[in-house]
Amino acid sequence: DGGITQSPKYLFRKEGQNVTLSCEQNLNHDAMYWYRQDPGQGLRLIYYSQIVNDFQKGDIAEGYSVSREKKESFPLTVTSAQKNPTAFYLCASRKGFREDSPLHFGNGTRLTVT
Amino acid sequence: DAKTTQPPSMDCAEGRAANLPCNHSTISGNEYVYWYRQIHSQGPQYIIHGLKNNETNEMASLIITEDRKSSTLILPHATLRDTAVYYCIAQRLGSNTGKLIFGQGTTLQVKP
């Protein structure tokens, strides 16, 4: 079945460590997104990529980095510069920015930093 | 992209229709209205979308006002499994449209 896989589901790290969250899709989608969700809050856009080897900052990119070396993969690194990294992270993709297509979401990674 | 505004919470009795409103008064002519829902601790799920005309699928109906400044998502016979956060967003086609912004959504509580 086609879909988006985020791994791991739960992740624990010590403060000061960088951590990379995985996002893989086999939907052949061009565009991919990373959102952050805090308890009781909506989704906030971190980074997005409309095509391989290109990505743009969202509203809360500080302390995060991404890469898009392959169409199917869009890993997110939470760096030690991110002041409040504990959150629920969601990856999404859609067919292409020129197409009338919905977002497909993964089931998220819950990151806890202590 | 247009900003959307939704009430923070709503209740609905099981078996009754749930009508969830969304205001998008600054929507432009080439922006679609998309609805998603998020069940606790899962990724959001696409429900339905539309541009100008009313739309219906197996999950829901979408009513868009003639001036396109607001819309209503209708779940015709709500069940307990429809308890979730519902998000309405405006999504534009074309270049430089990757930035899709979600608001706080509406928490729908379906009660027995």
User: What does the pLDDT read at residue A101?
Assistant: 83
Which residues 32-91 in chain A show a CB within 8 A of chain B? Answer: 33, 35, 41-45, 48-50, 56, 58-59, 88, 90
Assign B30 a pLDDT band (cuts: 50, 70, 90).
Answer: confident
Contact A50 B98 (CB under 8 A): yes
Query: HSE-up of B110 (CA within 13 Å, CB side)?
Result: 20
Task: Label each residue of A94-114 as H, E or C.
Answer: ECCCCCCCCCEECCCEEEEEC
What pLDDT is stored for residue A71 in this prediction? 96
How far apart are alpha carbons A31 and B94 in whole angstroms? 13
Across A97-111, B30-44, B96-110, least confident range: B96-110
pLDDT of A91: 97
What is the full DSSP assignment across chain A?
Answer: ---EEEE-SEEEE-TT--EEEEEEE-S--SEEEEEEE-TT--EEEEEEEEETTEEEE-TT-TTEEE--SBTTB--EEE-TT-S---EEEEEEEES-TTS----EE---EEEEE-
What pLDDT, in 10s, does the model give residues A94-108?
Answer: 887 666 788 899 999
Among B30, B33, B102, B106, most A C-beta atoms within 10 A, so best to mutate, is B102
Q: Does B78 have pLDDT greater than 80? A: yes
pLDDT of residue B93: 64
Q: Match 């969202």 to its residue by tokens.
A: A58
| Chain B environment of A99 (Cβ under 8 Å) | 93
Residue A113 has pLDDT above 80, yes or no: yes
Among candidates A43, A56, A110 on the partner chain, residue whose Cβ is nearest the Cβ of B98: A56
Matching residue, tokens 């307990």: B80
Q: Is the dihedral of CA A95, A111, B8, B38 positive or negative?
A: positive
Contact A58 B99 (CB under 8 A): yes
Average pLDDT over residues A27-55: 91
Instruction: Reply yes or no: is the peptide bond before residue B21 cis, omega within 30 of 0.
Output: no
Question: CA A76, A78, A81: angle at the middle one, nearest 5?
Answer: 145
Which residue did the predictor score with more confidence, B104 or B68? B68
Mean pLDDT value across residues B47-73: 95
